[in-house]
Structure 1
């Protein structure tokens, strides 16, 4: 049996033959239906083969893999778990506990002020000589800075890591980097991957002007990325940066392989206060993509960081990285994504697009000029609108927010541990807060047999649930007369008529004759413009259908309900 299996051969199928079979399976739909278009303008093909890759990469795949691997210092990465305590005593307790349980570095955010005492800072002096320190947004007045002046000069070479902000470190900190292309700000403002990469290079060029040599600059510089949920694109982003950086270094005459640190953290752009445990899945997805991409340092944010972190959520965030190391052994493999036709193709496309944009920025005068012109801000605003538009039209899903919303839990307005401007779920959260306070009575008016109206009723219920609107079902009406009688006798704020598509027009002809003017009614489904106009003239207010702008519709319902309440 085994020998027969080993002797079996399969017929070779080329890309052209596969494409023919794929088109046939689409049953009349165009092949383009299988292509996914990203916000970066990249077309993701349904299949990547050697034939496809050779045609599109033009035999540069091997060079991509070699450059990524030579530009990565180590296959292993540093676990960087943050403490969120506002008091120095608790902060030190948490960081020491996390270091004992798998954390490998000290992370400090100057934007989150901590009340320090001298004894805690003295403890910190010892810790930073033992573990790498990554400190961001440090202000000149921050007491945290004093630890660097107190460490004696002989021990300063023990301190490793990076620090940014209003910082002038004393002499002797040779292994602490102070120049950064921090991409978190533009990421949260809506930046796509190509923009993040191009701006990182442009910032590097601007920073390099302040240093005597590119070698000295390369020893001081690092980059910081937020890693989003688009798994393969984020892997390609970090890999693309390695090659772009090497290309930039060579343009300065620096021909050695330069491996600068890449600091990554899970993006809060797609985190939501709604159904927060889904954030744990997002964090795991983002962490794994960062690791496969070859990040050097990684922070995973707790799933409930938008409300209030707990010891359990911090432990879970840390354990995501520990589980990846213990279960996958990725830390022993240099560039584990290298050689994948798919990821190498994405990497190459990001390189080409980012380098083109970088050259355009430099031609306009560089990073500062580009920002001052308003071009970057305009682009970020446009990208943010596109992202929200994708969510609102269900081209993208934010599980627990715009899809599969859970109304069994309430969304309380409380002070967040961390808040991020530009989160995609924010508008949905605001709608949920409103309807939790003032909930209209919404009825799905169902006609016919359960199997006939259920798909539309389920869709409408899910559509409205995303805004926090609860729905109840009417009895299944067997006639228009029964429906009209029920509608007249029962009190509700808003009703949506749910009928099988094949029967809707026929039922509506009869139903329209007796529609009550004071009733607020919509119809589920899409229809010809002619029918919509007739039904609206008869008293129907609007429609709910697949592909509709969800946020626009939910906002209109909110405004209508507010008007009804004021009457």
Structure 2
């Protein structure tokens, strides 16, 4: 028996076999229903196999993997946590503490200028000789520039880091990179992964023109990306950049492997003041995808940085990186994602789309000409609007913000960092507005709890995203009982909730004598004729899955204001 089992062979399953089984399971729906189209225009397949990748990439897969791995000498990265205070003494104290507890670099962003003293700059200059110093957005009037004057000429060759902004760096800092393709601003404005990659190449092409050789440029250049919550896409984005960069270098006649540092930071566009600990989950997800994608330098923003930052928030952000290094050992592996059918396919698709977009920008005169034409802003606005539309219809989820809201959350007024185009802001403003005053809202429930609970929970959660807290009526056994309760109880806004199989029967009886003085919606979406008949009878509207949250809340605010003004009159 055992020998027979050992000799037993399973029939190989082909992609065609799997597809046939999948189509049967769909029960008449098209196979294309399993395909998801992303904002980049990439179609995500339900399954990725060896057969598929061999057909799509063939020998190019090995060439792609070589290009990715040529861009790194090890799997390690630099932990570069930023210091957020604007007080010079606190900046020095927090920087020293962070370095003692695992941070590996000093990060300064001049967009949040610090009030420096001479002593602060002297201490920072001493640290800059020992640790990498990454300085971004340094303006001419920023006293931070003076620390480079304080470093003795003999020690300047020891200083490693970056320096960007309108200020000019002193001579002698040969290991400080001053040319950057910083895509973070475009990211915050709505850019997708393909757009960010293409812009990075376009910026690099423009900056390279100022150098006599590509090697000179390469030694001064770095790229900077924000890492969003789409885990596999962000891994593929960083890997795609390595491939694109090798191709870019060869276009300049540079035949050797080219390595430029990739700086990453967790994205702030998805951070929210609502349920802020979810930001901690976002940061961990984004940090790990950056590491698997092969980042060289990583900054993890604290979960409370868009509110009032705390020592705990700073510690948690730093520890995310320390835990990844200590627990996963990915710092010992170059390109740990390599060989995944899904990620390799995704990487290749990003490479092809980003390179085509880069060439399109070049044909239009290069990066500056493209920006000045207004085409980039127009594209970014469309992408941002599409993201907001998907959030408003819950095609995209911001946990704790547009879905699964916690009504007990207090929304902090202070902001350590003010982030433009942060996606959660509109929902935060709604929550503040309805916390001050809101319509007395009730769910008018019919039948047994087990029958209406799912739909009632949906409506409760829908309204809660704006901060509207609905109460439950008794579970009515009949329409007559419901009408009697409505007459005897005061409320501003009601939503009729019943099991989908019972709602039309309830409503057909309810509309025979609909309470004309009441503002009542119905849970669910129905055919056009049914909705019109009910609204003609007095129903105000509907609440259903896929509805635009922001449009609905705008209507609720308008209707409530009109009813309130009418009552006062």
Name the TM-score class by shorter chain: over 0.9
Distance in 2 (alpha carbons) for counterparts of 1:539 and 1:2: 74
Asked if 2 retains the 8 angstrom alpha-carbon contact of 1:134 and 1:161, the reply is yes
Paired with 2:225 and 2:2, the residues of 1 have a C-alpha distance of 49
- Structure 2 Cα separation of the partners of residues 530 and 445 of structure 1: 23
What secondary structure sits across from 1:501 in the alignment? coil
Is the aligned partner of 1:365 residue 2:370?
A: no
Q: How does 1:416-455 map to 2 (within 5 A)?
A: 416-455=415-454
Structure-to-structure mapping, 1:54-133, within 5 angstroms: 54-133=54-133
The aligned residue for residue 352 of structure 2 is 352
CA contact (8 A) 2:149 2:170 kept: yes
Task: State the 1:3 CA deviation.
Answer: 8.7
Deviations 1:371-408 (A, max 9, x none): 11111111101101111111111111111111100102
Matched, 1:530 2:520: no
1:83-130 deviation per Cα after TM superposition (whole angstroms, max 9, x unaligned): 111111111111100000000000001011111111111110110110
Secondary structure in 1 matching 2:563: helix
Q: Which residue of 1 aligns with 2:547?
A: 548
| Shift in alpha-carbon separation, 1:5–1:143, aligned structure 2, 3 A | farther
2:470 paired with 1:476: no
Instruction: For 1:30 and 1:345, locate their aligned partners in 2 and report how far apart those are by CA, in whole Å.
Output: 23
SS class of match (1:306): coil
CA shift for structure 1 position 504: 1.6
Distance apart, 1:29 and its partner CA: 1.8
452-461 vs 95-104, which moves further: 452-461
* Contact kept in structure 2, 1:484 and 1:514, CA below 8 Å: no
Deviation at 1:8, TM superposition (A): 5.5
Alignment check: 8 A CA contact 1:227 1:286 kept: yes
Report the Cα distance in structure 2 between the residues aligned to 1:196 and 1:563, rounded to whole angstroms.
45
What residue number does 1:521 align with?
520
* Residues 409 and 70 (structure 1), Cα distance of their counterparts in 2 relative to 1, 3 Å cut: same
Deviation at 1:9, TM superposition (A): 4.0
Matching residue of 1:494: 493
User: Which residue does 2:286 correspond to in 1?
Assistant: 286
1:143 aligned onto 2:143: yes
**Counterpart for residue 198 of structure 1:** 198
Give, in angstroms, the shift of residue 6 of structure 1.
Answer: 6.7
Aligned to 2:272: 272
Quick check: 1:40–1:193 contact (8 Å CA) kept in 2? yes
SS in 2 for 1:165: coil
Displacement of 1:156 in angstroms is 0.3
The RMSD of aligned alpha carbons is 1.4
The secondary structure found in structure 1 opposite 2:68 is: helix
Shift of 1:527: 1.1
Aligned-partner Cα distance in 1 for 2:324–2:557 = 44
Query: What is the CA-CA distance between 1:11 and the residue it aligns to?
Result: 2.5
Name the residue aligned to 1:465. 464
What is aligned with 1:28? 28
State the partner residue of 1:391: 391
| Alpha-carbon distance between aligned partners in 1 of 2:103 and 2:530, rounded to the nearest angstrom | 63
Q: Which residue of 2 aligns with 1:329?
A: 329
Counterpart contact for 1:410–1:436, Cα < 8 Å: no
Partner of 1:50: 50
Instruction: For residue 559 of structure 1, report the CA deviation from its aligned partner.
Output: 2.0
Once residues 48 and 210 of structure 2 are traced to their aligned partners in structure 1, the CA distance between those partners, rounded to angstroms, is: 44
Secondary structure of the residue that 2:502 maps to in structure 1? Answer: helix
Residue 256 (structure 2) pairs with residue 244 (structure 1): no
Secondary structure of the residue aligned to 1:485 is helix
Aligned residues of 2:164 and 2:179 also touching (Cα < 8 A) = yes
Change (3 A) 1:3 1:262: farther
The SS at the match of 1:222 is strand
**How much has 1:82 moved relative to structure 2?**
1.0
TM-score, normalised relative to structure 2 = 0.97
* Residue pair 2:191, 2:384 contacting (<8 A) in 1 also: yes
Q: Which residue of 2 aligns with 1:309?
A: 309
Shift of 1:41: 0.4
Name the SS of the counterpart of 1:530 in structure 2. helix
1:7 is displaced (CA, Å) by 5.9
**Would the aligned equivalents of 2:163 and 2:169 in 1 still touch at CA under 8 Å?**
no
Q: CA deviation at 1:4?
A: 8.4
Cα distance in structure 1, aligned partners of 2:4 and 2:378: 64
Cα distance in 2 for partners of 1:361, 1:214 equals 21
Q: Is 1:445–1:473's contact at 8 Å kept on the other side of the alignment?
A: yes
Where 1:103 maps in the other structure, the secondary structure is coil
Aligned residues: 566
CA contact 1:431–1:467 (8 Å) conserved in 2: yes
Partner of 1:211, secondary structure, is coil
Greater mean alpha carbon deviation, residues 25-34 or residues 108-117? 25-34
- What is the alpha-carbon distance in structure 1 between the residues aligned to residue 477 and residue 340 of structure 2? 58
Preserved CA contact (<8 Å) 1:265 1:299: yes
The alignment's TM-score, normalised by the length of structure 1, stands at 0.98
Alpha-carbon distance, 1:31 to partner: 1.2
Distance in structure 2 (CA, Å) of the matches to 1:56 and 1:395: 29
Q: Contact 1:447/1:498 (CA < 8 Å) preserved in 2?
A: yes
> 2:188 and 2:9 mapped to 1: Cα distance?
51
Q: Which moved more, 1:378-387 or 1:22-31?
A: 22-31
Q: Deviations over 1:190-227 (max 9, x none)?
A: 00111100011000011111122211111111000000
Which residue is 1:539 aligned to? 538
Q: Distance in 2 between matches of 1:564 and 1:372?
A: 48
Cα distance, 1:2 vs structure 2: 9.8
